[in-house]
Amino acid sequence: MTLGRDALRGALAAHAATATGILVGEGVGVAGVCAGLAGNQLRTPLSEAGSVGVAIGLALAGRAPVVELIDLAGLGRAAEALGEAADVALRSGGAFRATIVVLAALPDTAVIPTLPPGVTLAVAGVPEDAAGLLAAALGGGGPVVLLVAEAALDERGEGPFDPLGVPTVRRAGSGATVLAEGAGVALALAVPSEAEVIDLRGCRDPVRLGALFGRTGRVVLFSHGTQPLVAALGDHFWRLESRPVFVPVSGGADALRAALTDSFSP
């Protein structure tokens, strides 16, 4: 089995070695996941919005840039530029598309910010998703934010890969459904329980999720601060025995265990 970090670095190196692939960012080649990688690179000033802006220009010129953010907090500062990248296809009637992947590590205590419309979110919570989601993002034809949980980088794993935006059942179960994300996936799988565990993988579509959690009738959302998603899932209350419960990943396994205990109570 391969470390998620090694698999991702291998995929980035292979991409940077192609004619269109290029790694962009303030620390490419010297810091972050891209540290020590060779191939097509462009070091940028200390401005996340500037890095994404440069990447938009490269994408419109036919390149496929991957922008690595050293600090996840920079994602909020780059949000407006990402929104502009998403608007390119709309304003051009589909004639132009900006294929950009913004990559960042997702700390256990981090909160995922709300992204502009048209920007796809992908979250790797298991090692096999780290490189797989990168490949899917590069083939998506638009801006994608790829966040990789630190656990997914530092653990080993191999297995089948599901497409971008598709939530995946990591453990079958009954009685309750845990919708986990990022660091929450490994934590949820480590908590002894009869509950099923579904990896969101960045999915925010309540209709698609509703079709999954309807099997158990109880839902615990164990994620990196997605309160709006709880409200959206609440629209499916008619399919549930109780309202969805939100537990932030920062609360750890004990908070999830307590929520599951309540979920299984009559």
CATH number at residue 148: 3.40.50.970
Confirm whether 163 is domain-assigned: no
Same domain, 210 and 255: yes
Better-predicted residue by pLDDT, 98 or 160: 98
Q: For a pLDDT cut of 90, what percent of the chain falls above it?
A: 46
* Beta strands 168-171; 177-180: pairing state: unpaired
User: 149 pairs with which residues across the strands?
Assistant: 106
Q: For a pLDDT cut of 70, what percent of the chain falls above it?
A: 92
CATH number of the domain bearing residue 238: 3.40.50.920
Same domain, 184 and 115: no
Better-predicted residue by pLDDT, 86 or 179: 179
Confirm whether 136 is domain-assigned: yes
Mean pLDDT of 15-33: 93
Same domain, 129 and 23: yes
pLDDT beyond 80 at 263: no
Say which DSSP state 119 is in.
P
Q: Which residue has the tokens 């083939």?
A: 139
Confirm whether 252 is domain-assigned: yes
Predicted local confidence at residue 95, as pLDDT: 65
Same domain, 145 and 202: no
Confirm whether 160 is domain-assigned: no
pLDDT beyond 60 at 266: no
pLDDT beyond 80 at 242: no
The total number of residues shown for the chain amounts to 266
pLDDT beyond 70 at 223: yes
Q: Which domain holds residue 253?
A: 168-264
Mean pLDDT of 33-44: 93
Q: How far is residue 94's CA from residue 21's CA, in Å, rounded to a whole number? A: 22
Confirm whether 162 is domain-assigned: no
pLDDT beyond 60 at 71: yes
Better-predicted residue by pLDDT, 57 or 217: 57
Q: Of 108, 128, 154, which residue constitutes the final position of a domain? A: 154
Least confident of 3-7, 57-61, 94-98: 94-98
Predicted local confidence at residue 237, as pLDDT: 61
Same domain, 95 and 142: yes
Same domain, 126 and 172: no
Predicted local confidence at residue 216, as pLDDT: 78
Q: How far is residue 165's CA from residue 219's CA, in Å, rounded to a whole number? A: 20
Question: The pTM is what?
Answer: 0.91
Residue from 181, 209, 1, 188 nearest 106 by CA:
181
Average predicted confidence (pLDDT) for the chain:
87
Predicted local confidence at residue 226, as pLDDT: 72
Same domain, 127 and 188: no
Mean pLDDT of 29-54: 91
Residue 108 exposed, middle or buried by CB count within 10 Å (0-12, 13-18, 19+): middle
Same domain, 137 and 79: yes
Q: How far is residue 189's CA from residue 197's CA, in Å, rounded to a whole number? A: 7
Confirm whether 208 is domain-assigned: yes
Q: Of 132, 154, 176, which residue constitutes the final position of a domain? A: 154
Same domain, 233 and 121: no
Concatenate the DSSP letters of all residues of 63-113 into one string. Answer: -EEEEEPSSTTHHHHTHHHHHHHHHHHHHTTTS----EEEEEEE-TT--PP
Same domain, 143 and 174: no
How would residue 190 be classed by pLDDT, with cut points 50, 70 and 90?
very high
Q: How far is residue 71's CA from residue 48's CA, in Å, rounded to a whole number? A: 9
pLDDT beyond 80 at 215: no
| Domains in the chain, number | 2
Q: Of 102, 125, 154, which residue constitutes the final position of a domain? A: 154
pLDDT beyond 80 at 24: yes
Mean pLDDT of 79-99: 79
Least confident of 158-167, 186-195, 249-258: 158-167
Confirm whether 29 is domain-assigned: yes
Same domain, 76 and 147: yes
How would residue 217 be classed by pLDDT, with cut points 50, 70 and 90?
confident
